[in-house]
Amino acid sequence: MAAEMAVRLEELIKRETRVLDPMDRLPFELIMAIFDSLTFTQRVRCLTISKKWMTYLGSVRHFWYSIDLAKRVPTAVRLPAHAMFMPTQLDEEPNNKVTNKTVLQLVKYAPPKALWLGCAQQITSGLLSQLGRAKRAASLETLSLRMNSRIYEQEFSQFWSFTPRLRVLDLHDCFGMMDGAVMSVIERCPNLEELDISECRITEACVMKNCNVPLPNMKKLVIGRWETAFSKEGIDAMVERFPSLVTLDIRTMRPKGIEALEGLSKLTQLKHLYTNSIETSNDEAVIWVLQRWVEGIPHLESLQMPACKGVSDATIQLIAAGQGEPGSDRRGWSSSLRMLDLSSSPYLTCQSLSFLATHPLPRLHTLILSRCGRVFEQGLCQAISSCGSELVRMECAGYMNVTDKVFHTIKDHCPKIEMVNLSSCGKVTGLGLKALVNARGQGLERVCVDNCPAVYLDAVEWARTVLGDPSRVSYMFSRNQR
């Protein structure tokens, strides 16, 4: 009797399961719409529900064209307006659950076009060989293997022959990557558009070989390593090899003085230039090189040069007005510049910022002037008032003489402001914070008043209540700062 009841119960459970299974009850179009709206991780979890779900999901090939196993992929996250024109934040969160077996089980459904493995440190060189032998790399257009120390140059050099369509390659901090692997990918992947080889064990030789053979498809390059200094010859070879660059990120490069970067003026299509490693250059060298840049690069949108000792008042004048040639309509980058970062410049003064009152940067979106040694409140207010019509992000942290006047200037002259950073400003108070929040309201995405001793918690809590999200107001205070 007990055995018979067990059989009946099992049949009942199976029947109820079939009735409740949405694969049996919902129309095909609705099922497709539901699975299309899921993230890749959610879709992988659905494979484990039943064999029926696994069979169905595996049969829809376009679900597996993009395999995203990274914990956070910057390109998949919608960037807020205040983050535009800023350098891409690196994804450095370890992802130790992804192995070779994980990837091979997922690529069996369809040859992937994009393979995002994040910081998957368990991936080994054997994966590349297996993908090639299984003919699962011919359609690959995007490959990300960040911070992986278990993939070496030999396997990579052979892998490129299987990926003729590769367009985006991210090898940031892959310790096994050396000059040979970089040279092989440049030679065998002519369609390459974006390449990140920062913090790899490379030297100037990786771009100097066959530098007279240009690769016009390359649009974005992230290159450099703190332990290696690039000379002018190596940077000139890079310019000749990639003449059509739109974005050049050399924040991890140590050129031998800013004079080594003079050849960048030949990159006429360049729009975004990020570097923070030219601290040893003097005033005259910076002026000479910047003058060449202004003459050769007509439409630069983003310029990041923090901690450069050669940045002075003449730097601002060149950026805003160029050489001031008689009869010329073109004035520096005044009509194109959207992001300017000259933070931690010890010789920048208020005189150059007042120059912006007569030569404004009307399209400026982001202005970062934090911790400039000779800049005071008056200069900051003049820069904000003259360039504030399109300003979305303003950072002027680290000024003990700044008061609520900066808050009021931003409130009155920056109708589109979303992010304000006044951290470590000694005389900023809660009254200024309240005035800004009252005027701009929900348009503010983030206000940072960390280590401001005159801003008290009641004003911060009020601002968080008005904005509706505690994370929009950053307030961390150490009593040692008082």
- Residue 434 is predicted with a pLDDT of 94
What does the domain layout of the chain look like in residue ranges? Answer: 24-63, 65-73+81-256, 261-359
- Residue 15 is predicted with a pLDDT of 53
Spell 279-313 as b/e; 16+ CB within 10 A means b: eebeeebbbebbbbbbebbeebbbbbbbebbbbbb
- Span 65-73+81-256: which CATH code? 3.80.10.10
| pLDDT tens column, 310-345 | 888 888 888 988 765 444 555 789 889 999 999 998
Number of residues assigned to the chain = 482
- Residue 330 is predicted with a pLDDT of 57
Whole-prediction pTM value? 0.88
- Residue 72 is predicted with a pLDDT of 56
- Torsion angle defined by CA atoms of residues 434, 410, 450 and 94, in that order, rounded to the nearest 10 degrees: 120
- Residue 76 is predicted with a pLDDT of 42
Residue in the block written with tokens 């008043």: 449
Element (H, E) at 9: helix 2-20
Which residues have C-beta within 8 Å of that of residue 46, sequence separation ≥ 6?
A: 35, 38, 53, 57
- Residue 352 is predicted with a pLDDT of 85
Spell 89-116 as b/e; 16+ CB within 10 A means b: ebbeeebeebebebbeebbebbbbbbbb
Q: What gap in Å lies between CA 18 and CA 20, rounded to an integer?
A: 6
| pLDDT tens column, 72-121 | 544 444 578 888 899 887 777 777 888 899 899 889 888 999 998 888 88
Q: Mean pLDDT of residues grouped by 10 in the chain (482 residues)?
A: 53 52 73 81 81 82 86 56 85 80 89 88 86 88 88 80 90 88 88 92 86 89 86 91 95 83 94 81 83 92 88 88 59 90 90 87 94 90 92 94 93 94 93 93 91 92 92 79 44
Q: What gap in Å lies between CA 305 and CA 278, rounded to an integer?
A: 8
| pLDDT tens column, 445-466 | 999 999 999 998 999 999 999 9
* C-beta of residue 476 within 8 angstroms of C-beta of residue 451: yes
| pLDDT tens column, 167-179 | 999 999 888 888 8
Q: Reduce the secondary structure of 386-398 to three states and give it as a string.
A: HHCCCCCEEECCC
- Residue 482 is predicted with a pLDDT of 44
Q: DSSP readout, 190-248? A: TT--EEEEETSS--THHHHTTTTS--TT--EEEEE-TT-EEPHHHHHHHHHH-TT-SEE
- Residue 222 is predicted with a pLDDT of 94
User: Phi/psi of residue 39, each to 5°?
Assistant: -75, 170
